[in-house]
Amino acid sequence: MKKLLAMLLVLACSLYMTQTAMAVGKKSLLVDPGGNGGVYPGNTSYPVPFNAASVNPKTQPPITTGYYFVDNKCTELSNFWHPTSNVLDTNWESELWVRIAPGPHMQPSNYWPAGNNGINGYAFFRSWWKGNGSTAMSGAELLPNVEWPDYWFGYDIDGNPNDVDSTDDAFAGPIPIGGGGFQFNGIRYDSFYVSTNGVIALSNRRYNYDASGSITKIPLGFGGDIYDRNSADWFDAGRRAARVAALADGPGGDGGTDDPTPDNWGFLKAVFNGQSKNGSILDNRLLPDLYSFNTGVAIIAPCWGDLHLSQYSVGYDRPEDWGKAYFKRSLGGDSLTVYWVNMAIKSNGPSIDGNGEFGYFHSFPGLGTIQKDRRPTDGSNQYCAVNVQVTLSTVDSTIHFMYEKFDGVYYWQYRNYRASLIFLWNTVAGVRGFGRHGNYDSKAPTAGAYAYNNIFDGITNGFLSWPYVGEYPQTTHYYGRYLYRSDGPGFPDNQMSVRFKTFKNVLRVIGMKYLLKQNLVDTDPAYNDKYSVVKTSDQVMDKELLAGHKQLGSFQPQAIFQNLTNDIQGIGGINYMPQDLAFRTRFVITNMATLKTVYNRSVPVNFACLNINEYVPGFDETGWLACNNTPGVKVRWVDITNYTTNTTTTTFTFQGIPYTSFTGSTFTAIPPYGYV
């Protein structure tokens, strides 16, 4: 007898998600752990909102359009899926690297001309607080406007620069992304902001501009209008109202050229926020997850927390250019990299929650103040910092985190905690953005709330909303303030890279089980020669098969798949797939001793298979031959009544939807988020 391994391959599936116990490395999971000792419930490693154990409506498409990830140390996937671990050196193509200045006074006042964005934008850190962040700037000091107050660049009566240069809870930007921008969740963004708290915000212009920088109409039809369809403020209620008013003259009018609304939504939302840190990328409250950042801003966070880029050494009592930030656009314009160097954690002390078990900044009581402006050699044992790069690929919209190194230790109760643990416990990593849809139906393209082929469908519909009728958030976490007291799950770590990517054609494997014949001799009265013995995935892995034996030589595999594709985005939308989805599945048995395939069968999931009517009188097993010309192959549209998934065991029960439900509908295969 030889041990055989059952393997499942999904041809139409670009990504195969499973749940796994925490180990070295990580990838998007099918079901995430939660609660105390795990992660906060909102920390999902697959795109949410999505209910992994229930029915999901077509109008909730983040699982289709959002990001999945895998890191380079994930032991569950082959090297084919792993991202490369490569740190971009600032000495290589040094002319392309731009240092983000640690304050406006690092250059002469005429170096930052107001209103002249330029190729490198406003690449200097600043804030709306003075005195090293202790005092808010007054209304008079914010003049002539909050985007460009003179106080940032001014000097006092003694000739000293105003005390506003800061690399703590500070931001730089907007800075042009370059090229054709970056497609994030299906929306093109043209500029970005960098925070000293380890997070990037993306933004977009409101209007269309010509080569000279003047607002211009784009002739999309009936004379065109001035509005950029990727505008970040497209669904902002107030700014939508201004757009409605400006377009009140209808198609053929001035196209909104009389709209007085300033093009500064991204600035106001991402970094100013009414001069409040909370709700902007200057937020240092350490949100438990990215989903709690409930604003309209698109964010990319390799390690968002209460961080800073120190410019002064407390231990040595001297200025020191220690914490740095850079960005680089590739020569061909196909990528943008942001690089933080020596970005260090700080804290003003513990804040224990109601049950006294977990702190607000830290993971357990007693982890006290982590002072700012420390160094790894000043003897404080309070320096914890990271060098990390984020690269945005404009070719395929992938996002790459590269954790170059975690440096330093934190000493507490006679124990040193490495810096990567302090970051794991006190920062959050992942991506959060917004997708948009046109309420499109590929089977009825001219029906519903949005007629896809009719750009201008009246003032109240297509003319103002084209090509979208809705916007939805979608969030994927790499990690989110883990509450483990142990040494951690192995991530993040030095030289660890993480790739976030969207996939156009994705299925989800809910699980498998196997039916075997009874282990009885033929003459036993209890023997029925049916596949009636259920084995779960963990049980079949060590199951021995005796080739040719009636009872011990065969089994029937059963699998449930879920269609994770959608068409609601519209033909031009991200990851658009016409519905309903037909695909093929493949089951392979490999002899692990010889690595040779001993069984290989492909089964279609299409209308012909799903439409077989097993409920008609007189139906027998030969009726299934219409699917794949193979006895015993059955393909059914199903409801999941119960399933539980863990590391090695998959058990589920399912019930086929009655034949009349399929034929009585307009379904031609498996609809979005349906099961088979």
**Is the C-alpha dihedral spanning 610, 615, 617, 620 positive or negative?**
positive
* 485 vs 53: which has the higher pLDDT: 53
pLDDT level of residue 49 (50, 70, 90 thresholds): confident
Considering Cα of 413, then 417, then 419, then 423, what sign does the dihedral take? negative
pLDDT computed for residue 223 by the predictor: 57
Q: Omega before 617 cis (within 30°)?
A: no
Q: Report how far Cα 550 is from the mean position of its chain's Cα atoms.
A: 50
Q: What angle do CA 89, 195, 138 make, to 5 degrees?
A: 145
Write a three-state SS string for 400-440: EEEEEEEEEEEEECCEEEEHHHHHHHHCEEEEEEEEEECCC
pLDDT at position 146, please? 84
CA distance 375 to 344: 9
Examine residue 49 and say whether the peptide bond preceding it is cis (omega within 30 degrees of 0): yes
What is the amino acid identity at position 307? L
Instruction: Give the residue, 356 or 610, on which the prediction is more confident.
Output: 610
Sort residue 115 into left (φ over 0), alpha (ψ -120 to 50) or beta.
Answer: left
CA distance 173 to 281: 12
Q: Is the pLDDT of residue 658 over 60?
A: no
Show me where the domains of the chain are located: 2-11+507-563+580-663, 100-166
> Using H for helix, E for strand and C for coil, what is the string for 645-663?
ECCCCEEEEEEECCHHHHH
Angle at 141 between CA 137 and CA 147, to 5 degrees: 90
The string of pLDDT tens digits covering residues 113-164 is 654 457 888 899 998 888 767 788 888 888 888 888 888 888 888 888 888 8
CB-based burial label for 180 (10 Å; 0-12, 13-18, 19+): exposed
| Max Cα distance, the chain (Å) | 106
Distance between CA atoms of 461 and 511, rounded to whole angstroms?
Answer: 43
Beta bridge partners of 3: 544
Three-state secondary structure readout of 450-461: CCCCCCCCCCCC
Q: What is the DSSP string of 472-521?
A: EEEEEEEEE----SSS-SS-S-TTEEEEEE--SS-EEEEEEEEEEE-SS-
- Write down the pLDDT at residue 33: 61
Structure tokens at 491: 């991530």
Share of the chain above pLDDT 90, in %: 30
pLDDT at residue 646 greater than cutoff 60: no
| Residue 6 confidence (pLDDT) | 31
What average pLDDT does this structure show over 332-340? 95
Q: Do 643 and 651 contact (CB within 8 A), yes or no?
A: yes
